[in-house]
Amino acid sequence: MLIVNGTLQIEGHTFEHGAFTTLAVLQQPLWLDRHLARLNQTARFLGLTRQVRAGEIRKLIQIHQIKDTALKIIISADNLVLVTRPLPEDPTLVSRLWISPLPHPEQPPLASHKTLNRCGYALGQEQAITAGFTDVLWLGQANEVLETAGANIVAIMKNTLVTPPLDGRILPGIVREIVIDRAHKISGLTVLQRPLRLDEMMHADAIFLTNSLIGIRQVVAIGDQPLDQTHQDNLQKLQQAYQAAVRAEDLRCTM
């Protein structure tokens, strides 16, 4: 762990009054500007005057020779903290989702911000893993799909991507944003951001998760029901296009 810009003050960490973002660093940090824009927006929402600049993060990455790792950037009123951990060994692994019997751990407006108050998410994921799954799926009161503990969820229905809207109940994920921005250009898919019921999603051609460490990861089962694996062409196109985008972003930042 690296602690920068002063001693570690107690309020930001014991009272969870802070924000964070997690991104992949290959040779260079991927989509750093997008991550910092979201991080700084949350800081302003929390009333923090601290704003993080890309230049200072790149400088710290260079000084500490951070590469081929996951990087968590944490800010509170008095501190900037960088924490590294290994990247997922195989980001192409599949996910099996456990449907939580408990309500989503956050309500608007906190649910749409990546604050240090994440205990409910961590507990949900631990319960899912204990039950033999890889992640937890939270549903809204009307059985709408929301998100998992650490990822957004997207369903492929023919040539359309359907994903829950940014209505204050889910996190605006960076890879979700990239997929939406590029879906039509890279694979000819249209995108609908709208409420998605669980029973509707179960009939999708494919379902996948997105976050900045796993990229695009296929969901193969929800609860005790395995999903149809016979219509994967569009998912494979998206995964290939995303990996190409990652390589291009890493090269662009290196040049």
Topology of domain 2-85 in CATH is D-amino Acid Aminotransferase; Chain A, domain 1 (3.30.470)
> What average pLDDT does the segment 25-54 reach?
96
Matching fold, domains 2-85 and 95-249? no
pLDDT of residue 186: 67
Block residue for tokens 């507990």: 123
pTM value? 0.92
Mean pLDDT of the chain: 90
Percent of the chain with pLDDT over 70: 91
> Could you tell me whether strands 95-99 and 2-4 are parallel, antiparallel, or unpaired per DSSP bridges?
unpaired
**Residue 112, SS3 per DSSP:** helix
Which tens digit of pLDDT belongs to each residue from 63-88? 999 999 999 999 998 889 999 999 99
How far, CA to CA in Å, does 22 sit from each of 53, 74, 108, 110, 111?
Answer: 15, 9, 21, 17, 16
Instruction: Please state, in angstroms and rounded to a whole number, the distance separating the CA atoms of residues 74 and 173.
Output: 17
Which tens digit of pLDDT belongs to each residue from 206-252? 999 999 999 999 999 999 999 987 888 999 989 998 999 999 999 88
- Both tokens assigned to 106: 């956050």
Which tens digit of pLDDT belongs to each residue from 6-31? 444 444 454 568 999 999 999 999 99
Give 144's strand partners. 197
Give 70's strand partners. 24, 85
* 114, 98 contact by CB (below 8 A): no
Q: What CATH code would you report for 95-249?
A: 3.20.10.10
Domain boundaries, the chain: 2-85, 95-249
- Both tokens assigned to 13: 């960490």
Task: Name the pLDDT band for 1 (thresholds 50, 70, 90).
Answer: very low
